[in-house]
Amino acid sequence: MDFVLFLITVFALIISLIREILKRGQDSVGVVVWKYFSYYTILSNLLVLIWFAALTFWPQLSVGRFAQNPNVATAITFYIVTVGIANYLIYGWLNLSLFERISDLLVHAVTPVITLSYWLFFVEKTQLQYSTLGYWLIFPLTYAAYTMSHGKWTQFYPYEFTNVQALGLNKVLLNALALSISLLIGGAFFIFIGKTLGRF
């Protein structure tokens, strides 16, 4: 099962990358690849890929045991599920070509669904701890800081809410605060659901 999910995630990322290369315009392939991995959606999918890889290929090593930790598994699942939900809440059902639609569904719907399904059926949830929630913010806040810092020099902001030049630093910091609070509340609810399911 772990290997199948690993392959699906690899396929999703490859198809999505091909889509970006095909529509690159004046950008070089190198720039396209850098921009591609500047999106939170893609990094979340990559995190899922690394998680499934650790479970598949190195279950006995420290990285594999770390991946098996229920709190780690739940955090990664939360990241990718929120990616899917936020995408369709914000952008809705865009008018895309068939290939673009497939690539969009793979990273915004397929990967979140298979990850959530794995979490529901194969992750031990009775050991989930609310005290780990603070650690869950490391990934999204590090991403936000990286995006704001490189945006100053590259003029490229994958998401408008991190655009310091357009919104100003104070507005972006308020966005980061609102995001952090939302993630903490959503994460706490996610853990609550997990602990509740773990009783059955």
pLDDT at 46: 98
Distance, CA of 72 to CA of 178 (rounded, Å): 23
With a cut of 80, say whether residue 27 has pLDDT above it: yes
Short-list 86, 108, 119, CA closest to 190: 119
Q: What is the pLDDT of residues 124-174, one digit of tens each?
A: 999 999 999 999 999 998 998 899 888 888 889 998 888 888 888 899 889
For the segment 48-71, the average pLDDT, to the nearest whole number, is 96
Short-list 24, 35, 72, CA closest to 51: 72
Q: Residue 198's pLDDT band (boundaries 50, 70, 90)? A: confident
Report whether 195 contacts 128 (CB < 8 A): yes
With a cut of 80, say whether residue 101 has pLDDT above it: yes
Q: What is the pLDDT of residues 75-97, one digit of tens each?
A: 999 999 999 999 988 878 878 89
With a cut of 80, say whether residue 200 has pLDDT above it: no
